[in-house]
Amino acid sequence: MSSPFKKALLRGAAAALVIPAALNLTACASPSGGDDVKSALSSLRTTLESISGVEEARVAGSFDGSPDRRKLGVTVYVTDMSVEAVTPIVEQALQQAWAFDAFVPVGYSIQVWPSPVPSPPANADTMFDIEQIQSALELTGGFVYNRALSVGPDVLEAKFGARG
């Protein structure tokens, strides 16, 4: 015969295992995200590729060592690398990245490359230097490093308004 203490202990252990699974509160997550995140990233890529002048786009979420600190990286491949053509593309790409809501990024980065997508190893000298258009983007912050723009969510919120 089981003691009341043993029964209570077993019920508690079973609840500890069953309740999180029933509520989908598992802690295991892949770095690339679940199916919802992958679907949202694919949808964002399709949206970016619909921007005039964009031939192809790539998007990815990345971690900086903590699973709740994800960044969103955007790379667009464009037909015209002129300042006049790239400025509106980058602005629209940033706006679409800001609207992305499968996870809340702690940072955003964007790179602009000539199309077609170069074969590895890509020559970084062919990447568009976003520093040329940084002031035209009228951002309140961010920085360009190795020709790519990095901004925080506060910068995009100041530019595009609250995410909603």
76-80's contacts with Cβ under 8 Å and 24+ in sequence apart are 76/48, 76/51, 76/110, 76/111, 76/112, 76/113, 77/113, 77/114, 77/115, 77/116, 77/117, 78/53, 78/54, 78/112, 78/113, 78/114, 78/115, 78/128, 79/53, 79/55, 79/114, 79/115, 80/53
At the top level of CATH, the class of 30-160 is alpha beta
> 9 pLDDT exceeds 70?
no
**pLDDT per residue as tens digits for the range 49-102:** 999 999 999 999 987 777 778 999 999 999 999 999 999 999 999 999 999 999
Domain map of the chain by residue range?
30-160
d(CA 108, CA 105) in angstroms, rounded, equals 7
